Amino acid sequence: MKIGVLKEIRHNEKRVAVTPKIAQDFIRKGFEIWLEKDAGLASSFDNASYEKSGAKIVEKAQIFEQVDVIVKINPLEDNEIEKLKKGQTVITLVYHKLYPETVQKIADKGVNLFSMDAIPRISRAQNMDVLSSQSNLAGYKAVILGADFMTKIFPLMMTAAGTITPAKVLIYGVGVAGLQAIATAKRLGAVVEATDVRPETKEQAESLGAKFISVETGQTEVSEGGYAKEQSAEFLQKQKEAVNKSLFDADLVITTALVQGAKAPVLIKEDQIKQMKRGAVIVDMAVEKGGNVELSRPDETVEKYGVKIIGKTNLPSTLATNASELYAKNLYNFITFMADKDHFKFDLEEEITRGTLLVKEGNILI
């Protein structure tokens, strides 16, 4: 089976779906790896390192014409979908609930489509969970990015000129990204608070040293797969009231809240930003899905009322080497579970297959 690795064409995307180490692992399993020329350069993997691992360096056209499986990170663009051949298998992030038209276009080409963002969150699929591996890095980078824009340091520092008090960090959302943000901010010496609509995250946040701000609802707000549900206006008002004191006192705020298949909830509105400290920084990690902050803009830093609001999209790409290594390992675990060197199993009775196989031979299964 020939696996073709495409170069990412999305603006500001530096990751690559397969690294030289993982290419070598695939080849040892009997697969062939065909890599589009220079696909790994932005992640610091040159063509020579792939050739040394046994991969074949080719032009993009050869991948569409000759490989069995096409892999990349971001969803296929229209000009890539046009080049697909009937019977090929495509494995990428798809976000099918947000972009059903992409699924339809791919189905029209008579191919098979697996979505790496649809991996079920079960224990035996943890080593395939791309969203978790990439969110881990994003949570770390959000804190570093926020620190770069702050006018204060994180830790308590005692000097001959006086004592500097530690910075206060507030994190909305205690998922994978939020937990890594908590851990990173604590390691840097900040005082950290966190909040989430899911009460069971309280213990996780506190285990990393954060104070958890609870919002009393009388019910457990967990949806299938561990994602938060969309919340009522009444709940969001209660959360706003519970968190406001900490928000107005924070030096750095990081928002990570996403709802699967829907626009991100707005958690911080303009009237709240007006009451924050001058010099405070907000990093909106959900800006690409609509944003948790009313004034945030994709890939812009907005400064208003003395507060800097950073809307950086695709944070994992800013750590392209590590992000590629993790994605590639997730992909390797997924493909070697789904297929041997000759063919895919397409076992729809199997939970991971059933969750990720969106299109089979041109037929949409979702």
Query: What is the CATH classification number for the domain harbouring 358?
Result: 3.40.50.720
Strand order in the sheet with 168-172: 211-213, 191-195, 168-172, 252-255, 281-284, 307-311, 300-304
Q: Report the percentage of the chain scoring pLDDT > 70.
A: 95
227 plus 336 within the same structural domain: no
Q: What is the pLDDT of residue 226?
A: 54
Average pLDDT over residues 152-170: 97
User: How confident is the model over 91-103, as a mean pLDDT?
Assistant: 93
If pLDDT is split at 50, 70 and 90, which confidence band does 295 have?
A: very high
| 296 and 325 together in one domain | no
Distances (CA, A) of 149 to 142, 153, 173, 189, 237: 11, 11, 21, 17, 29
| Span 339-348, average pLDDT | 94
What does the buried/exposed string (b/e) look like for 204-220 if buried means 16 or more CB atoms within 10 Å of the residue's CB? bbeebebebbebeeeee
Return the higher-pLDDT residue of 317 and 263. Answer: 317
Regarding whether 100 and 177 lie in a shared domain, the answer is: no
Specify the pLDDT at position 214.
87
Alpha-carbon span 134 to 125, nearest angstrom: 15
Per-residue pLDDT tens for 180-233? 999 999 999 999 999 998 888 999 999 999 999 987 665 555 555 555 556 667
Predicted TM-score of the model (pTM): 0.92
Pull the structure tokens for residue 209.
Answer: 């040293």
Across all residues in the chain, what is the average pLDDT? 94
Match 């992030």 to its residue by tokens.
Answer: 93
Asked whether residue 159 falls in the same domain as residue 292, the answer is: yes
Catalytic residue among 24, 49, 121, 305: 121
Assess whether pLDDT exceeds 80 at residue 289: yes
Annotation marks residue 129 as catalytic = yes
Nearest 5°: CA angle at 124, between 123 and 130?
85
- Structure-block tokens of residue 330: 């997730």
Q: Which of 126, 214, 223, 275 is catalytic?
A: 126
Q: Are residues 119 and 236 in the same domain?
A: no
Same domain, 262 and 360: no
Mean pLDDT, rounded, for 5-26: 97
Reply yes or no on whether 327 is catalytic: no
Counted domains in the chain:
2
Q: Is the domain of 185 the same as that of 327?
A: no
The single residue of 24, 49, 227, 297 carrying the catalytic annotation is: 227
Residue pair 265/163 in contact (Cβ under 8 Å)? The answer is no
Domain end call among 313, 334, 353: 313
Catalytic, out of 25, 68, 129, 284:
129
pLDDT at 197: 86
pLDDT of 166 strictly over 80: yes
Of 313, 329, 348, the last residue of a domain is 313
Same domain for 11 and 93, yes or no, is yes
Which residue of the set 53, 132, 180, 324 is catalytic? 132
121 is catalytic: yes
Q: Examine the domain organization and report whether 166 and 212 are in the same domain.
A: yes
**Domain-embedded: residue 144:** no
Instruction: Report the run of H or E that residue 193 belongs to, with start and end.
Output: strand 191-195
Q: What are the tens digits of pLDDT across the range 104-159?
A: 999 999 999 999 999 999 999 999 999 999 999 999 999 999 999 999 999 999 99
Read off the tokens for 4: 């073709």
Query: Is 115 among the residues known to form the active site?
Result: no
For 219, the domain range is 150-313
196 and 111 within one domain: no
Q: Is 38 a catalytic residue?
A: no
For residue 39, count other CB atoms closer than 10 A to its CB.
Answer: 25
